[in-house]
Structure 1
Amino acid sequence: MNMHAVEQENPNSEKQKKAYRFWAPIYDEVYGFFLKSAQHELANRVGATAGSILEIGIGTGLVLPLYPKECQVTGIDISDEMLSRARKKVLDDGYNNVKGLYTMDACNMTFDDESFDTISLPFVITLIPDTESLLDECARVLKPKGQIVIVSKISNADGAIGRLQRAFSPIAQSCGLSSSFNSASVEAWLAQNPAFKLLENRALPPVGFFRLMHLCRS
């Protein structure tokens, strides 16, 4: 790893770290059931092309058992408490395809350029305030022909649902939870980065509350 740095800090990071210290012991029980279907969709899409995977916001490692064994997985998170639980899973369950788990800021990663074939973003993009900086950093560490797969609570609605999500956003962020996020933020970044194409942007079953966005570098 090199010491590349992006001059961008998440102003909510300390608040989020504090919240995750609370959530870490109960995160799997609270979220595991509700996120399982969407996590399977993410892992299937990410694992379609065997290679090196970077999971940003790996948390307690809920997605780790879902990736194909032939893929090489690296994970980062800002929470030491969450990562300690992910590391325990790696040891206890023998996830030999996990190459490393690191405490790291997604907008200030220390990986070399063009390090990964695929970047996996499960339920984390809503928590990073600068989507452009995040995706710029993802593009930096992504190999040519690489892909970025996002699964999250993403709204593309401007109506009552969108207004409700935006109103709830400050409360959610104060708890370290997902906040309002509009898919237009990703689409705006794509417009400035023509080397990337949006292959897929769809609501996930059964109720469509979560969305999957699949980006590919040409």
Structure 2
Amino acid sequence: MTQQHLEPPVAAGLPTPVPGRAAKPSMRELILQAAAVLFYAQGIRAVSADKIITKVGITKVTFYRHFPGKDDLVVAYLERRAQSERDAIEGARRSSPGDPAGALRLIAEGIGVESCAPGFRGCPFINAAAEYADAGHPVREVVASHRRWFKATIEQILHEIGVADVSGVADQLVILRDGAMVGGHLGHRGDPQVVARSLVNAGRAVIEYSQAPD
């Protein structure tokens, strides 16, 4: 899910923490943390490599040693966000063993809380797609890959619920999710629980309609 603060270091590739001492983030991680904050708050195109270099307090040589170009950093930023969302959604599924409807409810509640959070600027993947018009660009490929994963995961949950048209219903639920994200970006600031409940009810209506007899 979306976060507006410096995120904790990713464990992979970092030294094993010493008991009683926090692991020191790698330089690559520090660059990614700074980029995550700036890209999300100001927009990807508006943030230059120089701005990130200044924020981290490093030289250009150090920056380009880790990221040969800004697009490489953007791809890494989005892949990091994708993994964060996947972890959150898989966590919701693990929290509801044998209850796929409960997993969907937890996912919707998370989206509701996120879309009402201070500093929320919409879905980082939708934002990135709006800034990169070429569908074949590596940035757009990351966006497309993550959205395919999200839809496939929703399809799996719907299959567990017993929905027949998992693809069609998943498409509608993804649209509901996107609408909540855009609504939050455009200034909707309601009660997270009310927004979550509205999203849950809308999703339930879609599923029930798909299962109604012709």
TM-score by length of 2: 0.30
* Higher gyration radius (CA): 2
Which structure: greater helix fraction? 2
Higher strand share: 1
TM-score, L = length of structure 1? 0.30
